Amino acid sequence: QVQLVESGGDVVQPGRSLRLSCVASGFTFSSYAIHWVRQAPGKGLEWVAVVSYDGNNKYFADSVKGRFTISRDNPKNTLYLLMNSLRPEDTAVYYCARVLVPAALSPACDIWGQGTTVTVSS
Amino acid sequence: QSVLTQPPSVSAAPGQKVTISCSGSSSNIGINYVSWYQQFPGTAPKLLIYDNDKRPSGIPDRFSGSKSGTSATLDITGLQTADEADYYCGTWDSRLTTGGVFGGGTKLTVV
């Protein structure tokens, strides 16, 4: 079935790096933009980043710009989020989410992963 | 502080109608489509409305969305206890620093 599965979440110290992965199945991964959205404990949704279907267009939230990188490997049906210089405020559940309309970048996402937890603490 | 403003909470009785508002600006809601999500504790969000007023397959017509100017609204009619959840609006923001934005979320209580 159509699904996204995230992995890579861990407990890391401030300043360290972590790479999250999101593996897609059941649809043509290379046709869809994919977002990363996070949710800190007890807080609301925060948009993090998006990459276009072909990987050529990438946008980031101001809170992560310059520290996080988004990339995709379409032959491997996999999306990545490389997080550098992690801060305690990056602690959250990270979701990858597929846009409903293939050509769009707007965060109207119909398929979400189950989330992976990142904890930044010394 | 979220770019999009939602009321923290709303409540209504079963069978009634509730309206959740989402206020933005000319750089986001004013020129881009709005989507709405429902989220239960410990689970991923679920898309309820996209392109301001469209429902994905499988979403009941009790859920409807609209947009006017720089604000959007989610209406839920025939409230059920199962609708008790958090609701979020989201859209694209076309300022100099472009990206997605969400509202702070609204907790719906069905009492």
State pLDDT tens for residues A10-45.
999 999 999 999 999 999 999 999 999 999 999 999
Mean pLDDT of chain A, nearest integer: 96
Count of other CB atoms within 10 angstroms of residue A65: 12
Q: Using CA atoms, how far apart are residues A84 and A90, in angstroms rounded to an integer? A: 10
Residues of chain B contacting A60 with CB distance shorter than 8 Å: 99
How far apart CA A93 and CA A68 sit, in angstroms, is 15
Taking CB atoms and an 8 Å cutoff, what residues of chain B touch A105?
Answer: 92
The pLDDT value recorded for residue B1 is 79
Q: CA B20 to CA B5: how far, in whole Å?
A: 10
Residues A36/A94, Cβ–Cβ less than 8 Å? yes
Instruction: Give A47 to chain B, closest Cα distance, Å.
Output: 6
Q: With a CB-CB cutoff of 8 Å, which residues 35-54 of chain A face chain B? A: 35, 37, 44-47, 49-50
Of B47, B101, B104, nearest to A108 by CB-CB distance is B47
- Reading the block at residue A41, the tokens are 């404990």
Size of interface A-B (CB pairs under 8 A): 75
**DSSP alpha helices (H): ranges in chain B?**
none
Confidence grade of residue A7 (pLDDT, cut at 50, 70, 90) = very high
Minimum distance, in Å, between the CA of residue A49 and any CA atom of chain B = 7
Is residue B25 exposed (0-12), middle (13-18) or buried (19+ Cβ within 10 Å)?
middle
| Shortest Cα–Cα distance, A43 to chain B (Å) | 8
Q: Enumerate the residues of chain A whose CB falls inside 8 A of the CB of residue B101.
A: 47
The residues of chain B scoring below 50 in pLDDT are none
Q: What is the pLDDT of residue B95?
A: 83
Angle at CA A43, nearest 5°, toward B7 and B42? 110
CA atoms within 13 A on the CB side of A101: 13
Across the interface, whether the CB atoms of B90 and A114 are under 8 A apart is answered: no
A68's tokens: 């996080």
Q: Is the pLDDT reported for residue A104 higher than 90?
A: no
